[in-house]
Amino acid sequence: MLERLGTVAIIGVGLIGGSIGQALRSRGLAARVVGIGRDPARLAEAVQLGAIDTGTTELARGVDGAEVVVVCTPVTRIADDVRDVAEFGPEGVLITDAGSTKQRIVAAVELDPRSRACFVGGHPIAGSERKGVASAAPDLFDGKACILTPTENTPPERLQRARDFWSGLGCRLIELSPRKHDSALALTSHLPHAVAAALAGSIPRETLTMAAGAYRDGTRVAGSDGSLWAGIFRENRAPILESLKTFRDSLAGLESALEADDERGIIAWWEHAKNRRAHFDSLNDSGSLNR
């Protein structure tokens, strides 16, 4: 159980960071929430929206006295930010993050002894195609999975504190190695985003007046930030390439059945997908998955 914290610092107060701040403040889990960012105007907006108590563009000032620091910057910056927090933060600080890739981040962090002693990789699976603190919500993490990625080098005390922190925000916890995390997320998150973008870009502009629900639902996440996803794709390149091969193999099954005009083959291909989706829905209905 998460006892009330003193100061929690959040680096990157956007959708995820802002929601963490709002959750902490609405649940009374921290005496003070400090936002750290590059743009004073955005930090002022975060204060106005109740995501943080105060903001600063100076990392050393922001993490001074913090019990927990959550790094919510793009995946290409997280390792550097963790090392900076470990350098300037208190000796007993817990550093965790919200990045959707883990292998390279954890490996880079663990090269530095001080960072290694403070860090527990985290990934709350609770984002959307929206961005910015204006889209934050205090209940964003309720019932959502947060994957922690400890290694043999992770101090047990920091791991327990990370468990308490993320579960205190409403998350249900899963623990995986960084490698298994990246392999799983390549299939369950990164591939669907890639497929949505490919579908969105495959439809000629002049036919969009005839598009409706199937196009809208299938391409929703293609509205996400391109530079953010370029970083994710590059960070998790090998597992994503494997997931794309899996997807191509699935499409090839339909293509072969169509070329042969094989009705049974088409139905079997569709039923396999339908059953997999039904299993996903049953997990949602039972409360085993994110809502």
For the chain (291 residues), the mean pLDDT of every run of 10, in chain order, is: 91 97 97 97 96 97 97 97 97 96 98 97 86 93 96 97 98 97 97 97 96 95 93 97 97 98 98 96 72 40
Alpha-helix runs per DSSP H in 134-177: 156-168
- Residue by residue, DSSP assigns 123-135 as EE----S--SGGG
Which pLDDT value is given to residue 283?
Answer: 86
Residue (of 116, 115, 125) closest to 148 by Cα position: 125
On whether the CB atoms of residues 63 and 57 are closer than 8 A, the answer is no
3-state secondary structure of 248: helix
Classify 188 in phi/psi space as left (phi over 0), alpha (psi -120 to 50) or beta.
alpha
Amino acid 289: pLDDT: 61
237-259 helix and 226-235 helix, angle to the nearest 10 degrees? 100
Sequence-separated (6 or more) residues with CB below 8 Å from residue 180: none
Give the per-residue pLDDT at 291: 40
Sheet harboring 5-11: ordered strands across?
Answer: 54-56, 30-36, 5-11, 68-71, 94-97, 119-120
AA identity, residue 240: I
Distance CA 129, CA 21 (A): 19
State the pTM of this model.
0.92
pLDDT given at position 286: 66
**Contact of 180 with 150, CB cutoff 8 Å:** no
